Amino acid sequence: MRNNESAEMYLETIMMLTEKQPHVRSIDVVHETGYTKPSVSRAVGLLKKSGYISVDAGGYITLTEAGRALASKVLERHRLLTGFLIGIGVDPEIAADDACKMEHIISDETFEKMKQHAALAKQD
C-alpha cells in the first residue's frame, strides 16, 4: 500500500478483531472502522498484494508474518500511548483518538523511551 498510515490502521484493526473473534472478514473491518465496503475491499486487495495478509476462498483474512509484525508494533504503540494519555488525565475517548494519530508518527527512539518510562513507573 502506498499510504503506510492507512496500511497500519487496517492491519491494527484486523489484529484487534482477531483477538476478539476466531475469523475476520472484510465486512468485520467495515463494521469496526465505519468505512465503506469498496474502501475496505480496495485496502484488503492492496494489503494482500503487499504481502501483509492472505485471504482464503471463504473471504477469511489472516495476517502474514510481516503483517502480524507490523500490526503488533502499531497496536503496542496504540495501547501504550492511550494508557499514557489517560494516566496524565486525558479523557479515555480523546486519549484513544489521539493515540491513533500519534502511533503512526512517533519515532522508534521516543516510543522506546516511553516504554522504559512506563516500565519504571510500574515498578514504583
**What ranges do the domains of the chain cover?**
4-69, 74-123
CATH topology of domain 74-123: Diphtheria Toxin Repressor; domain 2 (1.10.60)
- Signed CA dihedral, 47, 32, 94, 73: sign only: negative
Distance CA 22, CA 111 (A): 30
Q: Which three cell numbers stand for residue 27?
A: 465486512
pLDDT at 3 over 80: no
Distance CA 39, CA 75 (A): 22
Burial of residue 32 (number of CB atoms within 10 Å: 0-12, 13-18, 19+): middle
The CATH number fitting domain 4-69, selected from 1.10.3720.10, 3.30.70.100, 3.30.1300.10, 1.10.10.10: 1.10.10.10
pLDDT, tens only, 24-47: 999 999 999 999 999 999 999 999
pLDDT, tens only, 85-100: 999 999 999 999 999 9
pLDDT, tens only, 97-115: 999 999 989 999 999 998 8
Quote the percentage of the chain above a pLDDT of 70: 97
Mark residue 15 as left, alpha or beta (left: phi above 0; alpha: psi -120 to 50; beta: remaining). Answer: alpha
pLDDT at 56 over 90: yes
pLDDT at 12 over 90: yes
pLDDT for position 1: 43
Prediction pTM value: 0.85
pLDDT for position 122: 77
Distance CA 89, CA 94 (A): 10
Other Cβ atoms within 10 Å of 77 Cβ, number: 22
Query: Strand locations in the chain, DSSP E?
Result: 53-55, 61-63
Distance CA 70, CA 79 (A): 14
pLDDT for position 2: 45
Distance CA 124, CA 62 (A): 39
pLDDT at 78 over 90: yes
Provide the mean pLDDT of the chain. Answer: 92
